[in-house]
Amino acid sequence: MASRLNPYISFDGTAKQAMEFYRDVFGGDLALNTFGESGMAGSEGADKVMHAMLETSSGFALMASDTPPGMEYNPGTNISVSLSGDDAAELRSYWDKLSKDGTVTVPLEKQMWGDEFGACTDRFGIGWMVNITQ
């Protein structure tokens, strides 16, 4: 798998409806996972979307999630750029460069879903997420 760059949108509880709408617009296959399905069953927001991915026959990839409980939802700043793939060396290199002189909000490390993931804001104020598939 090559590395992929795509938009990642955060919603305030409407990720499922929004992603179903985008599927209707662009076509493609939509995968949805809730916080409850991802190890947080019974918690506040367990029915909300932890991760959604729409992949289309045109090669579009759009990812989204609901803002997790306890995190602030900020309309207008609710989109990040996602880098993902399985070339760990390449993606770690991107991470090192993007996070340098920026702010790391989630360190790049193994997560409960098994991949390495990190989130940062670069020195220009752009939000980035890096996911290294295991």
pLDDT in the model for residue 2: 79
Domains of the chain: 4-132 (3.10.180.10)
pLDDT in the model for residue 29: 97
**17-28, pLDDT tens digit by residue?**
999 989 998 899
SS (H, E, C) 37-103: HHCCCCCCCCCCEEEEEEECCCCCEEEEEECCCCCCCCCCCCEEEEEEECCHHHHHHHHHHHHCCCE
Residue 78: pLDDT over 90: no
Amino acid identity at 41: A
**26-65, pLDDT tens digit by residue?**
899 999 999 888 766 677 778 899 999 999 898 889 999 9
What is the spatial distance between Cα 99 and Cα 130, in angstroms, rounded to a whole number?
11
More confident call, 108 vs 78 = 108
**94-132, pLDDT tens digit by residue?**
999 999 999 999 999 999 889 999 999 988 788 899 999
Half-sphere exposure of 133 (CA within 13 A, CB side): 10
pLDDT in the model for residue 45: 74
